Chains A and B, each alone.
Chain A
Amino acid sequence: MTAPLLELRGYTFQYRAQAEPTLHDIDLTVRRGEKIAIVGASGSGKSTLLHALDGLIPHHFRGTASGTVRVAGNDPAQVPLVETATVIGTVLQDSNSQFVGLTVAEDIAFSLENQQVPRAEMPSRIRRAAELAGIGDRLEDAPQALSGGQKQRVAIAGVLVDDVEVLLLDEPLANLDPASGRAAVELLDDLHRDHGRTIVMVEHRLEDVLHRDVDRVVLMSDGRIIADAAPDQVLASGLLEEHGIRPPLHVTALRYAGAPVTAAQRPSRSTDIALTTQQVEAVRAWVEEGSPDDGSADAQRSRDERSGDAGIALDLRDVRCEIPVGPDRSSVVLEGITAQVRRGEMLGVLGSNGAGKSTLARVICGFESLSGGELRIGAADARGWSLAERGEHIGFVLQEPGQMLSRPLVTEEIALGLRARGIGEDEIARRTTMVLEACGLAPFRSWPVSALSHGQKKRVTIACVLALEPEVLILDEPTAGQDFAHYTEFMDFLRTLHAAGTTVLLITHDMHLALEYADRVLVLSQGHLLADEDPAVVLTDPALSARADLVTTGLYDLARRCGIEDPHRLVHRFVAEDREVRAAQGDAG
């Protein structure tokens, strides 16, 4: 055993502004060459733990600490931040904020410049770090020209340039679509295996993290370490669900089928797990047990009921959108999109980052102008409408709720749009009560918006938009960055809204989200419409997923390995059971 590189002993930390400690009595050891995933729900203290190691606590965030911290033998609180940074390279969650240079090369050089490395030595070191991080071909690009995944690679190169021993990553997958997320996990694995880096990452998307091996999974909850063991043991322990982390889908499916995994089966990956014959039988029986075409028939029925004669909410014909990217240049972001949204539908718009799905929403709302084709809202041609006119029919909820919230109180925020439309105070009061009720915000009606959680803020933006009584609600990445508990809570809330008659358009890169909640999906790739299908069909068409740069879930592999012919039946069975279990939990809670 090598000596501990990072060590926390009995560490407790309380932020200055908070009443309670965020971390309680933490004991954690990381040895040289290990790869560790720290998982935990939002607010479990996992990011705070990272900053206790990298020195931002106490150098940037202040508070009171007890216990000991050692990074390569030093206490990060006692030595300057930069000294800790020679051992630990931290990659923050928001890779856009971490990108401070005007070009990739400049940003990678940032730390070298601060150490006064002579200019002549920089290019070779930059190149080496950039190649290690897989971004060597974009050295002259500006940050605006890069995707989220590429910016993250720049951030990784920016710390590798210092030959750090440890990489500390704060939710590296939070802002990435699943395909780039997997690529990032692969990159980290290469850095660990081929280049001997110690890796510590904080993340709640466990299934994606386990795409490659990790040595240990540390599970945190309420500022304490609940489990610290090999991933197979943690998966088999059943502790994850208890503490708000979604286990890989195949692990949950096996549990539902009554044949839970054991640590000895190496359950981390759906492709590698050593399934027993009993388990295969159990899964097959479990799938059969549901009515023959359980979920899909349900979905079909509800679809038929709703779309019967309800009419068309949105009608896009040969839509094209060109966005200027420079003084004389523009790029075509959408081309030849023809699709319809029926009233009362819950429709998914699926695609990887940069596929044009957000642009599609922006075109519908009039944020970007159409450069070809037709757009009808209801029966009317919407091309000449102003933003406000479209806003009466279509409510667009941005991914970042902060971009829509301007008033200190929840009720003021909701009333803002209504007053602007000249609606009377009585009516405003009526609608406010109604949307507060619908969005589960009634208990918070007099709260300041700033005291709400991210998910609650998002509900406030939905409430604001719903108060205008639009026919269609469009949500951009509704669950981005939210942990499993918040994810399900939020999506179940959307389903209630939908059941009450709102047409919902979900824009997402998360295949499982579309699968669980959408009646139908539009698959976009590079500005083109690849498919307009039942989500389960998209899932079971590997060629289509590959072309759209989507990632199939572990359920697909499990179905294949159990010899189930229609993998979507397993998926529907899973979704149905998942709902029942959650409903039961909801009643119990």
Chain B
Amino acid sequence: MSSPLLGYVDREGPLHALSGVSKLALALGVVLGAMIGFDVRYLAAVAAGSLVLWAVSGVRLRDLSVVLWLITIFMVLNNIGIFLFAPGYGTELFGTRHLLLDGPWHWDVTSEQLFYQLAVTLKYFAVLPAVLLFVATTRPPEFASSLARLGVPYRFAYAVSLALRYIPDVQREFRTISQAQQARGLDTSRGAGLRTRVRNLSSVLMPLLLGTFDRIESVSAAMELRGFGRGRRRTWLVSTPVRGRDVLVMLIAVMLLAVPVALLVVNGGRYWNPFV
């Protein structure tokens, strides 16, 4: 049971074979690239690329179905939110107004708004599969070493590893404590009123926190004894060496970052405007 929670899917696949560094670089390239770029053509290309990657990765939709549902709901809600709050935002951005549907009050549907919201949605499609695939195809022990190899200070990288290490423990502890307190009548479930719940929750958090402070003390004593933090660098047992195809992947990552920057210049702004 290697953290089923984080969704690593233990299976042979081309992405699984890649080094964690190059996968992390690719995921970062996609995230940062899609952060900078708002050109629909670029986003569409990245989204398509992400989907292709998913298809070849050997990870099935079913493996991550829960997460995908959450994301879909979030995406739909966000789109509705944008429309409710700012139905004219597309017009504002692109400077034109092609009315498609005359809605109540300011809720008119325009091509510009749809186009803008298409860009927002594509952003999701570009970023999310890449991140999920990184998580699904990289063993958690390789997260930290990959971060460190990308230049993140190792102390910080190791903190990420410690978080992954202690999530299952904290989860079990939280469950036990809250059950024990519920057995004493301190209800924190849906049944109780909001005020009672918050108060009872503090009776769960207190033992959890005090236990956590003790754990921090003993874990850090153990780590100091075993020489953590002695040098300016450290090596990592779990780190797949970088090979030819990893270099290729990292080049793609750099390109993913370079293209939107170039597009900023070409388009004279973040948007590619098909309406003028």
**Chain A residues near B (Cβ < 8 Å):** 54-56, 59-60, 80-82, 85, 90, 92, 94, 96-103, 105-106, 109-119, 122-123, 126, 142-145, 158-159, 325-327, 365-367, 386-388, 390-392, 394-396, 398, 400, 402-407, 416-417, 420-421, 464-465, 468
Asked whether, in the complex, the Cβ of A106 is within 8 Å of the Cβ of B224, the reply is no
Do residues B226 and A110 form an inter-chain contact, with CB atoms below 8 A?
yes
User: How many Å from the CB of A394 to the closest CB on chain B?
Assistant: 8
Contact B203 A406 (CB under 8 A): yes
- Chief secondary structure at chain A's binding surface: helix
Please classify the interface of chain B as helix (H, G, I), strand (E, B), loop, or mixed, using the class held by over half of its residues.
Answer: helix
Q: Which residues on the B side are within 8 Å of A390 (C-beta)?
A: 183
Chain B residues closer than 8 Å to A396, beta-carbon distance: 180, 183
Residues of B within 8 A of A327 (CB): 4
B111 at interface by CB-CB < 8 Å: no
Q: Do A80 and B230 contact each other (CB < 8 Å), given the known contacts A60-B224, A100-B165? A: yes
- Compute how far the CA of A386 lies from the CA of B187 in the bound complex, rounded to whole angstroms: 10
Complex Cα–Cα for A465 and B183 (A):
9
Residues on A with beta carbons closer than 8 Å to the beta carbon of B2: 102-103, 142
24 A-B residue pairs with Cβ-Cβ distance under 8 Å, sorted by A, are A56-B225, A60-B221, A81-B224, A92-B221, A92-B222, A97-B215, A102-B3, A102-B161, A103-B2, A112-B235, A113-B237, A119-B239, A365-B183, A366-B179, A367-B183, A386-B182, A391-B182, A403-B173, A403-B176, A405-B207, A406-B181, A406-B204, A417-B186, A421-B185
Interchain CA distance A97-B203 in the complex, whole Å: 24
| Nearest B residue to A60, CB-CB | B221
B218 touches A403 (CB 8 A): no
The answer to the question of B264 belonging to the interface, with a C-beta cut-off of 8 Å to chain A, is: no
Which residues on A sit within 8 Å (CB–CB) of B228? Answer: 110, 114
Chain B residues with a Cβ under 8 A of chain A: 1-4, 140-141, 161-162, 164-165, 168-169, 173, 176-177, 179-187, 200, 202-207, 210-211, 214-215, 218-231, 233-239
Q: Smallest Cβ distance from B36 to chain A, in angstroms?
A: 33
Which partner residue on chain A sits nearest B211 by CB separation?
A402
Q: Which residues of A contact B183 (CB under 8 A)?
A: 365-367, 387-388, 390-391, 394-396
In addition to A92-B218, A465-B184, 6 A-B residue pairs with Cβ atoms within 8 Å of each other are A105-B237, A114-B230, A388-B182, A392-B185, A398-B176, A403-B207
- In angstroms, how far is the closest chain A Cβ from the Cβ of B228? 5
Across the interface, name the chain A residue whose C-beta is closest to B179.
A367
| Distance A335 CA – B110 CA, assembled complex (angstroms) | 64
Q: Which residue of A lies closest to B209 (CB)?
A: A406
Complex CA–CA separation, A574 to B102 (angstroms): 94
Q: Given the known inter-chain contacts A142-B3, A404-B207, please indicate yes or no for A54 contacting B141, CB distance below 8 A.
A: no
**A residues near B220, Cβ cutoff 8 Å:** 60
* Closest Cβ–Cβ distance, residue B227 to chain A (whole Å): 4
Please, how many angstroms separate the alpha-carbon atoms of A390 and B169 in the complex? 26
Is the Cβ of B185 less than 8 Å from the Cβ of A102?
no
A388 to B237, CA, bound (A): 48
